[in-house]
Amino acid sequence: MRAVDQPHTPATVSDQQATFLLSRSLVAAITTVALLLVWRPTLLRAQDAAGAAQEPSSTSHIVTPGETLWSLAVRYYGDGHQWQALARRNGIPISGVPPLKVGMRLRVPPRPTVRGATAAMAAAAPAESSAANLRPPTGTTMGERSARRIGLADQEAAMNSRKPSEVLTVFHRDLPDAAEAERRTRAVLRPNAPAPRIAEFLAAPFVTSERALVNLGRIAARVGSPAAGDGDPQRAIKTDEIELEAPEKQSYKVGDRLLAFGSPMRIGKGQVVITPTGILEVVKVGAGRPALALVVRQSGRIEVGQHLLTAPGGSAPWVKAVLLESPDVPTTIAWLDPQEAQPTLQSYVVIGAGSAKGLRPGDEVAIYRRSAKGTAETIAASARVVRVEHDFATSIVTKQYQTDIALGLPVRRFAKAP
């Protein structure tokens, strides 16, 4: 304690100052060495000397966002491929990704380098080309040149300018007369004529003899339907496959078209009315197995057990009937569908005259009635004949003027098919 409280001597103060100066000098030396290692002033001075030798003057550029060494080389050297020279000028390594940062100061040439454009050399015209002999006129100005016509060349000029290698092309314009133009138009356009209405023909009821219904084929089953009792018969619709039972001592073949019908209705002695329910087409036949048929048309209820007839051919063409001077072929209505309480348009009507009296498909008949006894007959409806048998014909109502179309009303033909 007594030594600490003693005052410092001059020798002690001098030693402390010397120690402080020595430590300060040592720190300064270490800092200088560290700065030399980091900034490499010797290399920078060498680069500056080399740059000064190559380019006596230079300026600086501050890197902004979006700039690259390539864009700066294009700007100051006129060629983006000189980016390596710009990097070497500023001591930036060219291997890897160049460390170019925003705000970095770069030394660049004082003014952008402008590189002169080199004109492209065009190939000379071939010797056989007419372009080789073209020479611009000399001694004339725009005001001294004469006016030239610009437009389509006439035929003579076009012929004179044609080259020998060109093939002459002749364009022929066909101007048909009125009759020929109409004939060509009709050949292209479809005729405006109504097509035959085959559905009305195939669905039309018709009269046949009872002897024609002996030994007929029948619908045996619907393919894919479970067995049903007598109270719930199997039914088929269009596109269904059904099994057929052929007539005794007969067989079906692929392509046969058959007509299915329901229970026939008697119309007279030995005559019955058949109402078609659909058209079947045989698609598969095998030995010892029932034939398979496809329902192609349906006009009624097709059920298992219905009998089959050979389907008729096509219907008559739909032609316009010619009006007669006076109605002929007098007859009466022989049959109406009992399920229709009030026959009307599109209803089938069987009349008691057929081919034996000259009726043909396409004829038009009128149905007459009397409003009261002793009054004149008036037309109640008109119908078109769609199917003709020997003694009967089936027609379909096309126009109706009065109600109460009933059995026994008089019928006469007023238009005849050509």
What are phi and psi for residue 116, nearest 5 degrees?
Answer: -70, 140
**294 and 202, same structural domain?**
yes
State how far the Cα of 412 lies from the Cα of 332, in Å rounded to an integer: 8
Give tens-digit pLDDT for 91-132.
888 777 667 788 888 888 876 655 555 555 555 555 555 555
State how far the Cα of 101 lies from the Cα of 89, in Å rounded to an integer: 16
Q: Is residue 192 part of a domain?
A: no
Q: Is residue 228 part of a domain?
A: yes
Question: How many structural domains is the chain composed of?
Answer: 3
| Chosen domain end from 245, 278, 310 | 310
Give tens-digit pLDDT for 126-176.
555 555 555 655 555 555 555 565 555 667 777 777 777 777 777 767 777
Domain that holds residue 95: 55-108
Task: Give the angle subtended at the CA of 208 by the CAs of 203 and 212, to the nearest 5°.
Answer: 115
Going by C-alpha positions, the residue among 395, 197, 394, 208 that lies closest to residue 314 is: 197
**338 and 295, same structural domain?**
no
What are phi and psi for residue 371, nearest 5 degrees?
Answer: -75, -30
- The CA-based dihedral angle spanning residues 90, 93, 99, 100, taken in that order and rounded to the nearest 10 degrees: 30
Q: Is residue 17 part of a domain?
A: no
| Chosen domain end from 261, 286, 310 | 310
**218 and 238, same structural domain?**
yes
DSSP-derived secondary structure letter, 405:
-
Question: CATH code at 355?
Answer: 2.40.10.340
Look at the block and give the residue holding tokens 């611009």.
136
Higher pLDDT: 302 or 231? It is: 302
Rounded to two decimals, the pTM is 0.52
Give tens-digit pLDDT for 16-53.
777 877 888 888 888 888 877 766 555 555 554 444 44
Give tens-digit pLDDT for 310-330.
998 777 777 789 999 999 999
Going by C-alpha positions, the residue among 362, 364, 372, 363 that lies closest to residue 402 is: 372
Q: Is residue 86 part of a domain?
A: yes
